[in-house]
């Protein structure tokens, strides 16, 4: 079965030895690779070849990894299904007829299919955790500032992080050990050693004895019955290993999806302005009024979901609407952050289903963007709060569809969520 | 489109949950407004896209109305600027920097004529 996991298959060799020697790490196609096309899943960048490596790619190569290719993705990371790619949809290799999740669907698919040992994805509102959950693998979204975004083609800078996808928690943590750490080329990176434990792979010891798990009721109640059953079964398993749990309420998360989309679309409308057919992208060779020329190039280069988000972001920032949408969304973001910080004062980690639904059937959500956005209810709050989260496999529905369990930790508390995830 | 019953059930739950109602459109958007935004965003649209977006934006913007219920929250303290002197560092040569430009002339990006 060809599931269309890669946009470009190649072979980029790393150094001879290092912690990742002999291992293949696929890279999402919005992360720059020197001399190898980086399309972001967009016709706009079909022939774009970066003249430099992203910091994470440099670190993979130094660690001895081989990069087998650039993985398929929703166009510019905008999607939950990997169906908006200009290079065709990716199919879920472990659930035929279903989507692999998105936007890092190609990265999760190549790992689930065994075509790469591990992969890098990017997570703006759940784009690492969602495909990990839908493909039955592990995906980790780091604390904002733990991993350099230098060389990542920006969609919504204030929300996104590059994160590892792997078959096991320990392997995901090993990959995080390689890519984490400050970078002078990304001023938002922080030195995590000043904030806590940073030996990530070593934290995958499965020791949850005495761990206190908070369960935000809002993130469980809204989920499908089949998902909830697997979630509670996993909680039972953790209890049997010595963890305890209590329920918490996070009223703010009911506004997270709206806040997330307003902020992400607003940032996207600004970030994607550079794709004008002059500096980057397809030009078509039109002459005449600059604005009209740009508008023609952008009509041809962008797909429908990108147009939708750039337009809605433009609207949210336009005169008369800024206070109504953007400013309110920033208030909601502060509220979500405060709710999570308070809940994490009383718990080591928070747990919820990663996705409230099992993988969609292919084509199911394409005609109804709002339905697709609502599926991000459990993942987007974490990006708004800048916190780390991991998705680990937690069984299957009766129909054999993968279910993912999400653990959220305090800022720079990656070792807590790795420890919790490794116990399942 | 054939959504399985289970998914449908969940989306409805989510919907009630986030005070959204599918199909509700408190914020009607017409095609002229979509065209105005498209001009601001410098993206041409065809007639079909204008109509589809007008319909979808009504629903999506209605869902964003839920943000009106968000209380005032004390935000983080004021940020302060961190300054450092400029330092000259290694950078791309012109050839590399222009390698991806669709058109160039005299070592510069070439844009459309200014009419």
Q: Is A307 tagged catalytic? A: no
pLDDT of residue B91: 87
Phi and psi, residue A318, nearest 5°: -80, 160
Higher pLDDT, B27 or A39: A39
Task: Give B 8-67 residues with CB within 8 A of chain A.
Answer: 9-11, 13-15, 17-20, 22, 34, 37-46, 49, 53, 56-57, 59-61, 63-64, 66-67
Residues 6+ positions from A404 with CB-CB distance below 8 Å: A129, A132, A133, A134, A136, A353, A354, A355, A391, A392, A393, A394
Indicate whether A200 pLDDT > 70: yes
Alpha-carbon distance A101 to A365, whole Å?
A: 11
Residues of chain B neighbouring A370 (CB-CB closer than 8 A): 20, 22, 56, 59-60, 63
Strands A25-28 and A67-71: parallel
Q: Is B23 exposed, middle or buried (0-12, 13-18, 19+ CB in 10 A)?
A: exposed
End-to-end distance of chain A based on CA atoms, in angstroms? 30
Residue A361: Cβ within 10 Å count: 18
Higher pLDDT, B27 or B23: B27
pLDDT of residue B27: 60
pTM for this prediction: 0.93
Alpha-carbon distance A314 to B34, whole Å?
A: 11
Domains plus CATH for chain A?
6-252+334-422 (3.90.1300.10)
Residues 6+ positions from A155 with CB-CB distance below 8 Å: A30, A76, A77, A78, A122, A124, A264, A267, A268, A271
CB contact under 8 A, A377 and B109: no
Indicate whether A415 pLDDT > 70: yes
Higher pLDDT, A51 or B103: A51
Question: If you measure CA to CA, which chain B residue comes closest to A329?
Answer: B67
pLDDT (tens digit, 9 = 90+) per residue, A51-66? 999 999 999 999 999 9
pLDDT of residue B102: 83
Left (φ > 0), alpha (ψ -120 to 50) or beta: where does A18 sit? left
Question: If you measure CA to CA, which chain B residue comes closest to A44?
Answer: B102
Place of tokens 């397809």: A282
The first and second tokens of residue A92, run together, are 């879920």
Alpha-carbon distance A94 to A263, whole Å?
A: 33
Task: Give A 284-323 residues with CB within 8 A of chain B.
Answer: 285-291, 293-296, 298-299, 302, 304, 307-308, 310-312, 314-316, 318
pLDDT of residue A283: 67
Alpha-carbon distance A132 to A354, whole Å?
A: 9
Using alpha carbons only, give the angle A95, A232, A120 rounded to the nearest 5 degrees: 45
Q: Is A324 tagged catalytic? A: no
Least CB–CB distance from A280: residue in B1, B34, B100? B100
Task: Give A 350-379 residues with CB within 8 A of chain B.
Answer: 356-358, 360-361, 363-364, 367-371, 373-375, 377
Q: Which of A42, A103, A269, A391 is catalytic?
A: A103
Task: Give B 76-105 residues with CB within 8 A of chain A.
Answer: 76, 92, 96-97, 99-103
pLDDT of residue B74: 78
Place of tokens 């320990």: A170
The first and second tokens of residue A376, run together, are 């991000």
Among residues A77, A89, A66, the alpha carbon closest in space to that of A5 is found at: A89
Alpha helices in chain B (DSSP H): 5-17, 31-40, 47-64, 94-98
Q: What is the mean pLDDT of chain B?
A: 77
In this prediction, residues B1-13 reach a mean pLDDT of 35
Confirm if A186 and A148 have CB atoms less than 8 A apart.
yes
A167-203 in b/e form (b: 16+ CB < 10 A) is bbbbbbbbbbbbbbbbbeebeebbebeebebbebbeb
- DSSP per-residue string spanning B64-93: HGGGGGPPP-PPPPPP--------------
Alpha-carbon distance A312 to A305, whole Å?
A: 11
């Amino acid at each position: 079965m060809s599931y269309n996991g890669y946009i470009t298959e190649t072979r980029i060799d790393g150094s001879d030895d290092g912690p990742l020697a002999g291992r293949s790490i696929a890279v999402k196609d919005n992360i720059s690779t020197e001399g190898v096309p980086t399309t972001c899943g967009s016709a706009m960048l079909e022939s774009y070849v970066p003249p430099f490596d992203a910091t994470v790619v440099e670190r993979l190569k130094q660690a001895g990894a081989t990069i087998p290719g650039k993985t398929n993705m929703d166009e510019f990371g905008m999607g939950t299904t990997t169906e908006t790619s200009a290079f065709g949809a990716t199919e879920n290799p472990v659930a035929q007829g279903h989507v692999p999740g998105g936007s890092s669907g190609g990265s999760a698919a190549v790992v689930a299919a065994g075509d790469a040992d591990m992969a890098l994805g990017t997570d703006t509102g759940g784009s690492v955790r969602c495909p990990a959950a839908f493909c039955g693998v592990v995906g980790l979204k780091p604390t904002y500032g733990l991993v350099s975004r230098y060389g990542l083609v920006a969609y919504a800078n204030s929300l996104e992080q590059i994160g590892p996808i792997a078959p096991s928690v320990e392997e995901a943590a090993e990959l995080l050990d390689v890519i984490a750490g400050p970078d002078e080329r990304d001023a938002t990176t922080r030195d995590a050693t000043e904030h806590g434990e940073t030996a990530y792979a070593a934290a995958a010891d499965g020791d949850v004895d005495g761990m206190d798990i908070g369960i935000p009721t809002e993130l469980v109640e809204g989920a499908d019955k089949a998902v909830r059953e697997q979630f509670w079964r996993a909680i039972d398993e953790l209890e049997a290993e010595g963890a305890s749990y209590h329920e918490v309420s996070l009223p703010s998360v009911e506004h997270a999806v709206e806040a997330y989309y307003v902020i992400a679309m607003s940032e996207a409308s600004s970030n994607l302005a550079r794709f004008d057919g002059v500096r980057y992208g397809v030009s078509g060779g039109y002459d005449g009024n600059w604005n009209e020329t740009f508008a023609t190039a952008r009509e041809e280069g962008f797909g429908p979901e990108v147009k939708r988000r750039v337009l809605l972001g433009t609207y949210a920032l336009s005169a008369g609407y800024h206070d109504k949408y953007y400013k309110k969304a920033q208030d909601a973001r502060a509220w979500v952050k405060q709710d999570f910080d308070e809940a994490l004062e009383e718990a080591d980690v928070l747990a919820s289903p990663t996705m409230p639904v099992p993988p969609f059937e292919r084509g199911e959500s394409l005609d109804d963007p709002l339905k697709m956005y609502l599926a991000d209810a459990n993942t987007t709050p974490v990006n708004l709060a800048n916190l780390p989260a991991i998705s680990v496999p937690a069984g299957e529905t009766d129909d054999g569809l993968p279910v993912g369990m999400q653990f959220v930790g305090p800022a720079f508390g990656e070792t807590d969520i790795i420890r919790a995830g490794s116990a399942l | 489109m054939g959504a399985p019953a289970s998914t449908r059930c969940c989306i409805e739950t989510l919907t009630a949950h986030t005070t959204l109602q599918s199909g509700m459109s408190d914020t009607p958007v017409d095609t002229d407004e979509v065209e105005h935004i498209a001009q601001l965003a410098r993206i041409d649209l065809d007639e079909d896209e204008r109509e589809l977006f007008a319909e979808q934006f009504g629903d999506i913007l209605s869902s964003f109305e839920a943000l009106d219920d968000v209380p005032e929250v004390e935000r983080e303290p004021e940020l302060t600027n961190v300054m450092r002197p400029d330092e000259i560092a290694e950078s791309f040569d012109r050839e590399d920097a222009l390698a991806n430009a669709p058109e160039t002339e005299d070592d510069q990006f070439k844009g459309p004529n200014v009419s």
